[in-house]
Amino acid sequence: MWYKVNELKSKGLNISQISVSLGLDRSTVRKYLSLDESSFLSWISEIRHRPKKLQLYYEYVKTSLESHPYLSASQVEDWLKEHYKDLPEVHSKTVYNFVKQIREEHHIPKKEPKSPRQYEHLPQTDYGDQAQVDFGSFHMPDSNGNRRKVYFFVMILSRSRYKYVYFQSKPFNTRSTIDAHERAFEYFQGQPHNIIYDQDRVLMVNENMGDLILTQEFQQYLSSMTFTAVFCRKADPESKGKVENVVGFVKKNFLPGRTYSNDQSLNESCLDWLWRTGNGRVHGGIQKIPYQEWLIERKKLHPYYKQPGFTPSLLPYKVRKDNTISYKGNFYTLPLNTYQGSDTTVLLKTDTEKLYLYDKENKLLTTHVLCNERGQTVRNTDHRRDKSQSLEVLKAEVSELFKSVPLYEVFIEQLSVRKQRYLRDNLLLLKHKSPDVEHSFLKQAISFCVENALFNANTVIQTALHYQKESSAQQQVVLPQIEIKSTQRIQVDYHPQTSQINTYQKIMQ
C-alpha cells in the first residue's frame, strides 16, 4: 500500500484523490507520504510487535465466550467495563478484533450451527403455469450529485425466465402495483396461471393462519383476472428464488454506474437492457435464451384482458424538439406545435396493439399503431398541419374575410362535404393568401369555382391572382384618351420668325 500511495503521488494526484482511489483515510495517506522506504519498513516492524491493550483480559474473554458463545463483541465490551473499572479506553473496533481473534484461535463459533435446511431440485414448471413477483430498491446518483432512491417491480415467467422490470421514484402502493401488473401482462402478451408473491404489506393485510386477508383493491383486481395469487410463508425467500435472483441481477448488472434523470428515461433504458441482456442472452440456469423460450410460452398464457373500468396510470413522456416521443426504441409523432419548450411532456398509455398520447388535461392528442421493430419513426400524416387553432374559430375568421362575397357560403359548404379531411388546410390557405389579392378578384374567383364545381382553396387563390394579373396588364397597354374642352377663346399675340429670300439664294449658289 505504501508503494501504491507513492506511485499515485508521483503521477500528480493529491492526498484527497489518493484517499478516494485506494479507499484509505486521508491521515493514513499523509502518514505514508511522510515516510521514506526505510522509515516505513521500520515503522511496520514496530507495529507488529506492539503489545495489545486488552491482552490482560484474554482469559476472561475466552472463558466468557466458551460459556456463552452467542455473545456479541458489543456485549463482551460491556461486560469488561462492568467487571474491570481500570479497563483502558479503547475503540469498539479494537474490542471486536480482539473477540474475533479469540474465537478463531479457540474455534468458538458465535452460535451453534443449525441443521441445514434440505432442498430438493424441483422439476421444471410447465409453460404458462407460473410467474414470480418481487420488489427492490436502489440508491442512484442524480445529475446534481445527490443520492436518489428508486423502487422497482419485477415479474418473471418461471419456465422461460422472461423478465419484466418497472421503475418509479416513489414507493409502490396497491394501485401502482396493479398498474405494474398491467404493464407486465402487456409486455408478456398474456397472464400466467399462477403468480407467487412474498407477504408484502402492499398486497396483504394479514396472514391469518393461512386465511389470507388481502387489501381490498388488490382483492377486487384478482377477482377480475384469470391468474391465481399464491403467497409464500413469512420469511421464506427460497420459495421464489427465481425472482430474487432477478432483483439481484438488476442491482448488479443494470443499475450500477447509471445516473437518475427521470422515471421515463430509466424505464426506457431498462427495456433496452432487457432486450439486449436480461432476455436476450443465454440464461445460466436453463442454458437457453429467455426471449426464444417466451415465443413458446406466450402461446400457453391466458389471454390478457384489462380489468373493466380500470385505467392504468398514464406515464409522462418528454416531447422532443421535432414533436416526437421515444418509446421502446421507436419515435412516434405528435401534432405540430406540441413542443413548447424543454419541459414539455405528454401522457402515454398502450394496449396490445395501439399507443395513446394525451396532454396534461388528459385530452387525447393522437393514436398510433404500436411498432414491434426498432429505430422506426411512426408518423401520422396530419401531424404536419397546424392544429393549434380551433377549427370553428378558424372558419369564423375566414368567413369574416369573405363576408361580402355572395357565393362564399356555398363554396365552403360544398368544400366541407366533399373534402372534410382537408377542410383545415383549405381554410388556412384562404386565411394566409387572401390578403394578397384584391377583394373584387376574389369574388370573381369564388363565382368561377362554384360555377365549375372546383371546390379547392388553392384553385380560388390562383384564379384570383390570374384575374388580378390580367387586369394589371390591360392597364399598362391601353392608355386613356384625354379630351380637353374649353368654352373660352384665347387670343395670343405671337408672330412667327421669318427668313430673308437672299439667304436661300446664297445656299443654292
Domains of the chain in start order, with CATH, are 2-106 (no CATH), 130-300 (3.30.420.10), 315-384 (2.30.30), 391-475 (no CATH)
| pLDDT at residue number 149 | 93
Residue 168 cell numbers, joined: 418509479
Angle between helices 408-418 and 391-401 (to 10 degrees): 150
pTM: 0.45
Confidence (pLDDT) at 375: 82
Residue 353, CA atoms < 13 Å, CB-side half-sphere:
1
User: What pLDDT, on the 0 to 100 scale, is given for residue 144?
Assistant: 85
Question: What string of pLDDT tens digits covers the 509 residues of the chain?
Answer: 888 888 888 888 899 888 888 888 888 889 888 888 888 877 776 655 556 778 888 999 999 888 888 888 888 888 888 888 888 888 888 899 999 999 999 888 887 555 556 555 667 889 999 999 999 999 999 888 889 999 999 999 999 999 999 999 888 888 888 889 989 998 998 999 999 888 776 776 555 434 456 778 888 888 878 888 888 765 565 667 888 899 999 998 899 888 998 888 899 889 999 988 899 889 888 899 999 999 999 999 988 765 544 455 567 788 888 889 888 788 999 888 788 887 788 888 776 678 888 887 778 888 888 887 878 888 876 655 555 556 778 888 888 888 788 888 888 888 888 877 788 888 888 888 888 888 888 888 888 888 888 888 888 888 888 888 888 777 665 555 555 555 555 565 666 666 666 666 666 65
450 Ramachandran zone, left/alpha/beta (phi>0; psi -120 to 50): alpha
Residue identified by cell 475466552 is 62
Structure confidence at residue 184 (pLDDT): 92
Do the strands 377-378 and 330-333 form a parallel or antiparallel pair, or are they unpaired? parallel
Q: Residue length, the chain?
A: 509
Q: Dump the DSSP string for 213-267.
A: EE-HHHHHHHHHSSSEEEEPPTT-GGGGHHHHHHHHHIIIIISTT--B--HHHHH
| CA 176 – CA 171 distance, rounded (Å) | 9
Closest CA to 95 of 61, 51, 63: 61
